[in-house]
Amino acid sequence: MSIFQKLPEGNGKPLSRRSFFRTSAWIGLGAALASWLPRVAGAQDTPKPPKPKTNIADASKYPRTAESMPGKFPGKVVEVYHPGCVVERKPQEAPAFEMVRAGMLALTGAATIGDAWRMFVDPKDRIGLKVNPVAGKELSTSHEITRAVINQLKDAGIPASRIMIWDRRLFELEETGFTSERYPGIGIAGTEIRDASGSFTGKDGKLYGEAMIDRDWYYWADVEGEYDSETLPYMVNGGKYSYFTKICTKDLDKIINIPILKNAGSSVTLCMKNLAYGAVSNTGRLHKDLWSETTAEVCAFPPIRDKVVLNIADGMIGCYQGGPGANPEFITDFRLMLFGTDPVAVDRVGYDIIYKRRMAEGIQKEESARGREFLNLAQGLGLGTADLDRITHQKINLG
């Protein structure tokens, strides 16, 4: 199924709201992360069991390109702060646009904003904006930052028809306002699809998502995915293979990653997590024992490693506890954005912001080594810089 094709009408029975939210909560990872991320202040790291094997060695068989991670500016992160970018828990359009502009110019050193964007993309590219709507309207990638990126891309000569917004679940994009009506001329795409009748299954009895996964590209891990009939539509397939979405393998040339600054236990779900768990199927099995490995290793495969040219972390509104879901008690206005081509460096800076806030709030008493495990793994895979003393962290205050 092409991401531009109109969805067919289904004949299956839609999930009930109770089943949907129960399943979404399970897939939303809060409980699964508890097995490896210390949750209470001062919790000590405990010995870990042997890790299941994966096919990460396969990733090194593919030669890197000039644009492979960590990209054009390894080890460089630009942090842009604007005190007026959020008013009454609502991101503001004009400040968001200015923050994106300032961050892009500082990151690239370009003379004009058009020159900055054309360092990464050109009008011939099919460009995907990887957003994150999983926590719902309260904690989604903001429309203000998304529109700022799209408008600046168009000003740089990129046709709207070459831009699409994508994530794992098309219906979550729609529920958070990422629709063709709101973004005319921009493609909207997802791997897991639910049609107008509420069904994940077409008249042929197959999940729509089966047509969206590329069985030539996969992340294998020696952990079995076993799902009931209500959960399977959110996974697409079971077994030991997690297949990359065709959105990444076939439909896009370049990816601009726009995650949210939020926690996952004592770690963060930022650039790499947004990519890794958004790009493959059958992820439920990968949370308990392989969260760090999956977050780093999936990004080492060419559909991600060679196509993600830029990361812009939306930290205007984020959270420091209760993530990756949206717990209103811990949602806060960070009023910042992070820019970089190096996703490991951006995640490392974001990690510091989160854990220092958690320390200040008394949620943690000390840093957890496990919280940074995925960053060290990613650095070992050559995806970027996890050592703070090797990261150039430039701060810009637009206040």
Phi, psi (degrees; rounded to nearest 5) at 97: -60, -45
Phi, psi (degrees; rounded to nearest 5) at 63: -65, 145
30-34, 76-80, 82-86, 213-217: least confident range? 30-34
Q: How far apart are CA 351 and CA 340, in angstroms?
A: 15
Inside any domain, residue 47: no
> Is 70 exceeded by the pLDDT of residue 371?
yes
Residues 338-364 pLDDT 10s? 999 999 999 999 999 999 999 999 999
Inside any domain, residue 8: no
Q: What is the pLDDT of residue 49?
A: 73
| CA trace torsion 159, 194, 132, 64 (10° rounding) | -70
Q: Which domain holds residue 169?
A: 53-397
- What's the pLDDT band for 279 if we cut at 50, 70, 90? very high
Who contacts 60 (Cβ-Cβ below 8 Å, separation ≥6)?
Answer: 300
- What's the pLDDT band for 45 if we cut at 50, 70, 90? low
Q: How far apart are CA 357 and CA 181, in angstroms?
A: 38
Q: What is the pLDDT of residue 48?
A: 65
Inside any domain, residue 31: no
Inside any domain, residue 303: yes
Nearest Cα neighbor of 267 from 296, 242, 244 is: 296
Inside any domain, residue 93: yes
Inside any domain, residue 253: yes
Q: How far apart are CA 300 and CA 71, in angstroms?
A: 13
Total domains in the fold of the chain: 1
Q: How far apart are CA 1 and CA 188, in angstroms?
A: 14
Q: What is the pLDDT of residue 79?
A: 98
Inside any domain, residue 112: yes
Who contacts 37 (Cβ-Cβ below 8 Å, separation ≥6)?
Answer: 264, 265, 266, 267, 291, 368, 370, 371
Inside any domain, residue 345: yes
